[in-house]
């Protein structure tokens, strides 16, 4: 192996090791000393964190599976008015972060909201004369998360339904099964891997959520980490809580893999896709109403409410302060997306140019941050950075009588590093997908003409990867803009972003004022949805 190859391999190993530091720190905290604060949490609220997190996962799992599978089956197997529109429009809730839809529905359904105010005015009721579901509750959090996370299940399951061969359904019907029996005995079991993958993604996002559960007052692990750190000032105890949350994620992965470990799914038959059933009359109306209801609840209604609030407070909200928030958010997102892209190129191309077990392991290690909640990563970043700052400051005081202050922790560098750990997998996946579309014989031809691997990357791959690189940049850019818990924990003093400001205003019950930054996040969040719909159209998946 040449010296250049060794240097590239060394750079890959160092990059993966650095990216893995926050997760290693959190896991290692389980071996550290347990303070009185931990014993207090163990005796009082830890059981609430565990139970509420389990109930939240159970509720969101059921909710996303019901919404995602039913809408996927409607758009894949049925023909009804608007089906072509709903096939991509049902992805729009992905642009709506859970904490923003929580703020919006609170403004709509709370005691002072328009729904209950209309009920009191219309029936001459007073508060307390009627029963109304409490939006700020565990059930409310489950509903909000289900409405914005079901597209994970919908997208994967719809592709699985479309790819199923018509011969399977025909064989089932020939054996005497009805349409409903065929669905539950053949169609649904064949799509089980896709459903399980989609639900697992939704549950990981559920465990990572902070804004929704904090705003609704649900005691979960993410809210407990914040309370322990900011309320008790116990960083080590917060890290141990974060490690417990990480164990939940690992257990989720293990259960999902074990549930499918002995199952094998193969596509059989002639390869003809299943013909859609044309619905007529009340069946067509019911299908249209069901799809429209899900889309309205998950995107149209909250987006319309945000737009209405923004229009009412446009002049007071659209100020230089808002432009500063926009600039801060774009600066962070641009820095993080660029860093992720450069690291993804280093790891993805290194794996292609120098294939081996070590390269495969390094890319997997570097990608594991995406499965880790942002709160966990933020704590894992703060501990080593604070240790480095304190160690340097102590040495300078002892040696020269000066203080260095906070050089690393509490800076934009720490925040961008946390973003890279969290979202590097998004860039790496896009880069690797682009590289797989480039034939290996192009590399061999360029190398035979005397080009080095770096020269092949610069002259051959980068021009051919423009689309994939732009996709990687945009996806990370949008994810960083929407990220709330990591930004809340690691942001420098007096440095706000759109997500943080929307959370602060909503926490102060200034929901109308929070509408403009929230709407900006939603509009920018439409970018990955547009990319997904374009990919669906290009692949001719039921377009």
Least confident of 210-214, 266-270, 457-461: 266-270
Q: pLDDT tens digit string along 123-136?
A: 888 877 788 888 99
Q: pLDDT tens digit string along 320-375?
A: 888 899 999 999 999 999 999 999 988 988 888 777 888 888 888 888 888 788 88
Q: pLDDT tens digit string along 142-162?
A: 999 999 999 999 988 888 888
Give the range with max mean pLDDT: 14-23, 345-354, 401-410: 14-23
Instruction: State whether the Cα torsion 357-360-362-368 is positive or negative.
Output: negative
**Cα→Cα distances 286→283, 325, 488, Å:** 5, 44, 43
pLDDT band at 458 (very low <50, low <70, confident <90, very high): confident
Q: Which residues contact 95 (CB under 8 A, 6 or more apart)?
A: 299, 522, 523, 525, 526, 528, 529
Distance (Å, whole) CA 242 – CA 223: 11
Reply yes or no on whether the pLDDT at 540 is more than 50: no
Reply yes or no on whether the pLDDT at 270 is more than 50: no
pLDDT band at 531 (very low <50, low <70, confident <90, very high): confident
Which ranges of 110-234 does DSSP label H, i.e. alpha helix? 114-123, 138-163, 166-174, 179-182, 188-190, 192-208, 211-215, 221-226
Q: pLDDT tens digit string along 466-512?
A: 878 888 888 899 889 989 999 988 988 888 999 999 999 998 888 88
Q: What is the pLDDT of residue 268?
A: 47
∠ CA 483-487-488, rounded to 5°:
115
Reply yes or no on whether the pLDDT at 308 is more than 80: yes
Identify the DSSP state of 165.
Answer: B
Q: pLDDT tens digit string along 161-203?
A: 887 666 666 676 666 666 667 777 777 777 788 888 889 889 9
Q: What is the pLDDT of residue 418?
A: 94
pLDDT band at 538 (very low <50, low <70, confident <90, very high): low
Q: What is the pLDDT of residue 299?
A: 94
| Per-residue exposure over 224-262, b if at least 16 CB sit within 10 Å of its own CB, e if not | bbbbbbeebebebbbbbbbbbbbebbeebeeebeeeeee
Higher pLDDT, 220 or 277: 220
What ranges do the domains of the chain cover? 314-511
Listed in order, strand segments (DSSP E) in 204-337 are 277-278
Residue labelled with tokens 């990955």: 528
Mean pLDDT, residues 378-389: 90
Domain 314-511: which CATH number of 3.30.1360.100, 3.40.50.1400, 3.40.30.10, 1.10.3720.10: 1.10.3720.10
Which ranges of 216-234 does DSSP label H, i.e. alpha helix? 221-226
Q: Nearest-CA neighbor of 145 among 203, 66, 190, 215? A: 203
Helix/strand/coil percent split, the chain, to 5? 80, 0, 20
Instruction: State whether the Cα torsion 11-14-18-23 is positive or negative.
Output: positive
Mean pLDDT, residues 100-115: 90
Q: What is the pLDDT of residue 90?
A: 92
Distance (Å, whole) CA 224 – CA 521: 26
Dihedral pair phi/psi, residue 258, rounded to 5°: -65, -35
Instruction: Let me know: does 308 contact 113? Beta carbons within 8 Å.
Output: no
Identify the DSSP state of 514.
Answer: T
Distance (Å, whole) CA 348 – CA 9: 12
Instruction: Let me know: does 28 contact 359? Beta carbons within 8 Å.
Output: no
Q: Nearest-CA neighbor of 90 among 181, 152, 143? A: 152
Q: What is the pLDDT of residue 543?
A: 40
| Per-residue exposure over 197-207, b if at least 16 CB sit within 10 Å of its own CB, e if not | bbbbbbbbbbb
Mean pLDDT, residues 16-44: 88
Per the prediction, the chain carries an average pLDDT of 84
Mean pLDDT, residues 257-266: 58
Q: What is the pLDDT of residue 537?
A: 59
């Amino acid at each position: 192996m040449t010296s250049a190859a060794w240097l590239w391999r060394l750079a890959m190993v160092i990059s993966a090791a650095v990216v893995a530091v926050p997760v290693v720190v959190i896991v290692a905290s389980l071996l550290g000393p347990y303070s009185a604060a931990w014993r207090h949490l163990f005796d009082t609220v830890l059981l609430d964190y565990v139970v509420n997190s389990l109930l939240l996962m159970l509720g969101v799992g059921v909710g996303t599976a019901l919404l995602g599978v039913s809408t996927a089956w409607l758009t894949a197997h049925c023909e009804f008015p608007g089906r072509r529109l709903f096939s991509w429009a049902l992805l729009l809730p992905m642009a709506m972060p859970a904490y923003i839809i929580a703020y919006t529905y609170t403004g709509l359904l709370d005691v002072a909201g328009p729904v209950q105010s209309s009920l009191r005015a219309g029936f001459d009721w007073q508060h307390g004369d009627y029963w109304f579901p409490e939006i700020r509750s565990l059930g409310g959090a489950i509903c909000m998360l289900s409405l914005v996370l079901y597209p994970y299940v919908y997208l994967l399951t719809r592709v699985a339904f479309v790819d199923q061969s018509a011969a399977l359904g025909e064989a089932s019907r020939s054996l005497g099964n009805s349409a409903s029996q065929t669905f539950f005995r053949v169609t649904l079991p064949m799509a089980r891997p896709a459903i399980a993958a989609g639900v697992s993604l939704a549950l990981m996002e559920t465990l990572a959520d902070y804004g929704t559960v904090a705003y609704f007052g649900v005691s979960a692990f993410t809210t407990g980490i914040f309370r322990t750190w900011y309320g008790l000032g116990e960083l080590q105890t917060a890290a141990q809580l974060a490690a417990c949350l990480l164990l939940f994620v690992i257990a989720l992965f293990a259960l999902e893999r074990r549930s499918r470990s002995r199952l094998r799914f193969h596509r059989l038959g002639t390869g003809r896709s299943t013909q859609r059933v044309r619905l007529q009359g009340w069946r067509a109306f019911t299908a249209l109403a069901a799809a429209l209801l899900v889309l309205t609840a998950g995107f149209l209604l909250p987006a319309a409410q945000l737009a209405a609030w923004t229009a009412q407070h446009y002049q007071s909200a659209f100020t230089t302060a808002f432009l500063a928030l926009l600039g801060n958010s774009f600066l962070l997102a641009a820095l993080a997306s660029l860093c992720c892209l450069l690291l993804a190129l280093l790891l993805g191309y290194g794996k292609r140019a120098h294939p081996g077990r070590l390269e495969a392991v390094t890319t997997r290690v570097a990608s594991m941050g995406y499965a880790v909640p942002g709160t966990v990563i933020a704590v894992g970043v703060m501990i080593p950075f604070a240790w480095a700052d304190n160690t340097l400051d102590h040495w300078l005081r002892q040696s020269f009588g000066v203080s260095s202050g906070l050089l690393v922790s509490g800076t934009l560098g720490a925040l961008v590093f946390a973003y890279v750990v969290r979202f590097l997998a998004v860039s790496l996946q896009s880069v690797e997908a682009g590289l797989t579309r480039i034939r290996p014989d192009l590399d061999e031809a360029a190398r035979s003409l005397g080009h080095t691997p770096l020269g092949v990357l610069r002259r051959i791959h980068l021009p051919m990867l423009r689309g994939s690189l732009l996709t990687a940049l945009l996806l990370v850019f949008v994810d960083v803009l929407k990220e709330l818990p990591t930004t809340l924990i690691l942001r420098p003093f007096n440095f706000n972003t759109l997500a943080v400001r929307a959370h602060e205003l909503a926490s102060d019950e200034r929901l109308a004022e929070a509408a403009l930054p929230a709407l900006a996040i939603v509009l920018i969040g439409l970018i990955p949805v547009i990319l997904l719909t374009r990919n669906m159209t290009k692949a001719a998946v039921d377009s």
